[in-house]
DNA sequence: GTTTGCGTCTCACATAATGGGACGCTAATC
DNA sequence: GATTAGCGTCCCATTATGTGAGACGCAAAC
């Protein structure tokens, strides 16, 4: 025994601590409440994580995520060559559409946002980097789950994953035609209209092509 | 016993695994070699980390850093309000100077890069996000360690931390005058000249002021 | 002075991590 | 087709390891 998903081993508890600190900085006592761990245990784990730089403490002694996670996060992003290859194409797409744009990949039974740029409008960012979203809703989800081509090369969804939000996505394929990622544009229905595909479809598809060639997925040798 | 810095406990070993994967993806056997852990242990730890999304595996089963680290890294960055507040000022500074720019803070006995933008020139990025650098060399290090004002408000260093690299840094101070961060511009000596302060000093200082007001460190009430 | 809440540390206990070795598999090699 | 080599995975007796109630020191609040 020791693989209950909830957190039995040291490692599980340590991750619980990191999870707790992901939202906001926490004093030891708060950490105890949030994680449900005994004080001594929470303290031991938090200080152990601190030794590794995964956790740091501010001047008041409150625990927060450490700097080590910056470089690890950076390295994790680099592990997806797609994310870096897509950077410029996403920037262009964001400028063309003036809406938030994202790049999603499958990861297990979810999809994960591995690159994102926010809309230039005042409205808050819709999908943060690293977010895990379901494979059951949203245009990007359907792009990642259906292997077939679609009319125009894009898929749209309106208010599907989240009320008031519409999105258009296009598949990024490798040399053998497999879908490896989905580029998306998403924004409030008021701005995107109820047929976002008509407005943004061609831009999204073009961005997908751009990412493919930038990442060397199509025909390049280097 | 159990707090030897080298890695005795589960947690220490788990971090060793993450460290090993930071550079490149690794097969189990490679992971065993790099970490020095027994096969069974390395496997158990890697799969445990995988359950938490800190590690993932590609199609061939090779281990690599997981998507969970993307969001944790993002959250760690958000834990420094300075980093987000500095974003626009850094972008402007980068455009003004056309060189790589960074924001450093003290963290323990080191300094850490909590925000960075690369030079527009072809040359590779000099300081990656999350990098830990010594407090003993470089203009940013001297800004962070000396509490006093300097002539012009900036400090320069030429080939100090790394051969061929020159940099100019200015302190970012809070309301009480304490140095909380250092903004830097750095690039190859050939481009920056041997008196980088003359060329970039005023830009860097201006960026520091900008960051202070953006972060609400100066006179704001919120 | 007393109380309350905080972070820290200890230590006897037993739970949870350990790792040598077995297993099943695929891909070279003979 | 048999053999070897190398891989990822899993078992399970052993014990090293993490555990957590409680004690401690300290500061601020009463």
pLDDT digits (tens, 9 = 90+) for A161-175: 988 899 999 999 988
Pair A21, A63: CB distance under 8 Å: yes
Q: Is the pLDDT of residue B4 over 80?
A: no
Pair A86, A107: CB distance under 8 Å: no
Q: Return the residue in B55, B68, B105, B109 with the most chain A beta carbons within 10 A, the one to mutate for interface testing.
A: B68
- The full DSSP string for B111-160 is EEEEEEE--SSSSPPSS-TT-EEESSSSHHHHHHH--S--GGG-EEEESS
| Rounded alpha-carbon distances, angstroms, from residue A85 to A57, A88, A216, B164, B212 | 35, 7, 9, 29, 33
Question: What Å value separates CA B32 and C1' D6?
Answer: 14
Task: Tell me what pLDDT residue A219 has.
Answer: 53
A35-39, A178-182, A215-219: the lowest-pLDDT one: A215-219
Mark the nucleotides of strand D covered by protein, meaning any atom under 7 Å from a CB: 6-11, 17-23
Q: Mean pLDDT across the stretch B28-57?
A: 93
Q: Mean pLDDT across the stretch B47-71?
A: 93
Q: Is pLDDT larger for residue B204 or for residue A3? A: B204
Q: Is pLDDT larger for residue B31 or for residue A126? A: B31
Task: Tell me what pLDDT residue B59 has.
Answer: 85
Q: Residue A91 CB: number of other CB atoms within 10 A?
A: 13
Residue with nearest Cα to nucleotide D10 C1'? B40
Task: Tell me what pLDDT residue A125 has.
Answer: 66
How far apart are the C-alpha atoms of A151 and A132, rounded to whole Å?
28
Beta pairing class for A165-173 and A179-188: antiparallel
How far apart are the C-alpha atoms of B31 and B21, rounded to whole Å?
8
Q: Is the pLDDT of residue B147 over 80?
A: no
pLDDT for B166-216, tens place per residue?
Answer: 999 999 998 888 899 999 999 998 888 888 888 999 999 999 999 999 888
| C-alpha distance from B203 to closest chain A C-alpha (Å) | 26
Mean pLDDT, chain B, rounded, equals: 88
pLDDT for A116-154, tens place per residue?
Answer: 988 878 776 678 889 999 999 999 999 999 877 788 889
Q: What is the pTM of this model?
A: 0.87
Task: Tell me what pLDDT residue B176 has.
Answer: 83
Q: Is the pLDDT of residue B112 over 80?
A: yes
Nearest CA among A68, A36, A112 for reference residue B110: A68
Q: Is the pLDDT of residue A5 over 50?
A: no
Query: Which residues in chain B have Cβ-Cβ distances shorter than 8 Å to A91?
Result: none
Residue B127 pLDDT class (50, 70, 90 cuts): confident
Query: Which residues in chain B have Cβ-Cβ distances shorter than 8 Å to A70?
Result: 73, 76-77, 112-114, 129-130
A3-12, A128-137, B126-135, B185-194: the lowest-pLDDT one: A3-12
CB pairs under 8 A between A and B: 140
- Between positions 53 and 92 of A, the ones with CB within 8 A of B are 53-54, 56, 64-77, 79
Mean pLDDT, chain A, rounded, equals: 88
Task: Tell me what pLDDT residue B7 has.
Answer: 59
How far apart are the C-alpha atoms of A60 and A173, rounded to whole Å?
50
Q: Mean pLDDT across the stretch A66-91?
A: 91
Pair B139, B167: CB distance under 8 Å: yes
Q: Mean pLDDT across the stretch B94-114?
A: 92
Residues in CB range of B149: below 8 A, 6 or more apart: none
Residue B220 pLDDT class (50, 70, 90 cuts): very low
> Least CB-CB distance to A112: which of B45, B67, B77?
B67
């Amino acid at each position: 025994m020791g693989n209950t998903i909830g957190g039995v081993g040291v490692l599980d508890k340590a991750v619980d601590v990191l999870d707790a600190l992901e939202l906001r900085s926490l004093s030891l006592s708060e950490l105890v409440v949030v994680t449900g761990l005994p004080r001594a245990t929470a303290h031991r784990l938090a200080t152990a994580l601190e030794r590794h730089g995964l956790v740091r403490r501010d001047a008041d002694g409150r625990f927060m995520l450490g700097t080590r996670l910056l470089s690890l996060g950076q390295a994790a992003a680099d592990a997806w060559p797609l994310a870096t290859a897509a950077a410029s194409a996403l920037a262009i797409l964001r400028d063309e559409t003036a809406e938030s744009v994202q790049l999603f990949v499958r990861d297990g039974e979810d999809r994960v946002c591995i690159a994102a740029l926010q809309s230039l409008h005042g409205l808050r960012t819709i999908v943060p980097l690293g977010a895990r979203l379901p494979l059951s809703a949203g245009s990007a989800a359907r792009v990642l789950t259906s292997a077939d081509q679609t009319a125009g090369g894009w898929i749209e969804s309106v208010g599907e994953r989240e009320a008031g939000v519409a999105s258009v996505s296009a598949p990024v394929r490798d040399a053998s035609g497999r879908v490896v990622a989905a580029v998306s544009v998403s924004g409030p229905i008021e701005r995107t209209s109820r047929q976002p595909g008509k407005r943004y479809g061609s831009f999204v598809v073009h961005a997908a092509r751009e990412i493919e060639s930038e990442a060397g997925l199509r025909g390049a040798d280097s």
